[in-house]
Amino acid sequence: MKMFELKDAAAHVTSYNSRGERHGEEVVPAADLALKVKVHNSKLDQIDPNLKEVLFRKPTKGEQGELEIGDGMTKLRLPRVCMPLKLSEKLPGYTLSVGTGLGKSKPRVITPVELSKFAVEPQEGGSVEITFKAAFEADEDTASLGLLVQQDVVITLNPPKEAVE
């Protein structure tokens, strides 16, 4: 998988799970935050360069086509296939910023975060819903993220610095 990035993306918090994680003999507090974003299908190129062509196609002559944005791949290639498509990637070392988008408080910045359990659901018209889990060591500050379950937030996901350079 290439480096998956999101900048000030609207997201929905679907769940928060608090748990213990073993680090050798020590058990440390950890948490999982499940997020869902709806983005343009061009974002699939960051996951796999062939994924967009597997899931989308251009409208054929005579089909109702939406406004052509980008490469025009807006029609579902496999509309009768049950989705979401689940991916087995695990991406460690990310930085996740979570804010309410209301400007009332500073976004919470969490690092390191491991992304996993990606699920991709293509939408007619060229958008795609991507759900994923963000796992991290928990503390008092991150525990309040549990209050955001079923809420809309604004997130930024930055890949590990070594991968960018």
Strands, DSSP E only, in the chain?
6-23, 26-40, 56-57, 75-76, 85-87, 91-99, 108-123, 127-137, 152-158
pLDDT score of 66 more than 70: no
Can you give the pLDDT at residue 165?
44
**Mean of all residue pLDDT scores within the chain:** 89
Asked whether 57 and 46 are in contact (CB, 8 A), the reply is no
Can you give the pLDDT at residue 69?
59
Asked whether 121 and 129 are in contact (CB, 8 A), the reply is yes
Q: What is the pLDDT of residues 99-147, one digit of tens each?
A: 987 766 789 999 999 999 999 999 999 999 999 999 999 998 888 899 9
Q: Can you name the residues that pair with 21 across neighbouring β-strands?
A: 28
Please, what is the Cα angle at 38 between 34 and 40, to 5 degrees?
140
Specify the pTM. 0.89
